[in-house]
Amino acid sequence: MGKQYLLPPIRQIRDLTIIDLNNGESLVVACDSAGAVGPKELDEVKVSNYILGRFIFRVALIEVVASGALPIVVTDALAVEMNPSGAEIIAGIKDELKDLGMENQVQLTGSTEENFVAKQSGIGITVIGIGEKEKLRLVSAKPGDELLCLGLPKLGAEVELTDPEIITTKIVLDLLTYPEIHEVVPVGSKGILYEARTLAKTNGMELELNPECTLPLEKSGGPSTCVLAATAPGFKDQLTKSLPLPVNLIGKIK
């Protein structure tokens, strides 16, 4: 038999894979994919390769940074040719990093399809981040926290890069500077209600919905156009004043 290795503890929290290292740090892994979205002949939703790259990358990136980790490696598995499609997708990924000032601290690697002509776009993204295990914002909500939705759920043709009603990675990073915000969770394709219930359950609590909330709670969040934040009670007004996007009270957890 070959040399035996002691594998580090690996755990799953929602869509994140957490690998606990023996130095007090953890690797946080997230991924996302898209098919039939892009400018190609058989794509169902027509968007530019650049926009495709930015938003699919943003989904996995927000998952990682919302946990309190910082990205160190990004892989792009592109089921399209390098030129021009792959290069345009990668340009979107790089510009998303550049907006955060992270273009020189994240290693980008990937692959493209050069054997066959792709008539439909396909993309897979993986983001690996690193952070101190004890400082990660995972399963960190507190009893009595209010659940706020920051941004609005949008998908498909509704999604635009400069839309002031959607969350950005930069805003998510800013949210982590507030001690009153205990946990941040992106809203995915299953919608606000699913993510809110999952957040409550993961923290060993139950969700109490705000009966006055008018958001479409079961609508897909598309490429993470909004996030949920578990906050100290009464913090909504301050966030509403400081953030340039809609803030809605979904309910509370207890």
CATH number for the domain harbouring residue 101? 3.30.1330.10
Same domain, yes or no: 107 and 188: no
The strands making up 226-231's β-sheet, listed across from edge to edge, are 181-186, 226-231, 146-151, 247-253, 207-209
| DSSP 8-state symbol, 44 | S
**Over the stretch 19-43, which tens digit does the pLDDT of each residue have?**
999 999 999 999 999 999 999 999 9
| CA 66, 31, 138, 236 torsion-angle sign | positive
- For the chain, the domain total comes to 2
Annotate 19-57 with three-state secondary structure.
EECCCCEEEEEEEEEEECECCCCCCCECCCHHHHHHHHH
Tokens coding 136: 């990660």
Instruction: Answer yes or no: pTM beyond 0.75.
Output: yes
Q: Identify the three-state secondary structure at position 126.
A: strand
What b/e sequence results for 43-69 when a residue is b if at least 16 CB atoms lie within 10 Å of its CB, and e otherwise?
beeebebbbbbbbbbbbbbbbbbbbbb
Residue at 73 is within a domain:
yes
On whether the CB atoms of residues 40 and 213 are closer than 8 A, the answer is: no
| DSSP 8-state symbol, 121 | -
Separation of alpha carbons 70 and 68, rounded Å: 7
Tokens coding 175: 């949210």
Same domain, yes or no: 92 and 170: no
Same domain, yes or no: 99 and 198: no
**Over the stretch 63-122, which tens digit does the pLDDT of each residue have?**
999 999 999 999 999 999 999 999 999 999 999 999 999 999 999 999 999 999 999 999
Same domain, yes or no: 120 and 159: no
Residue at 82 is within a domain:
yes
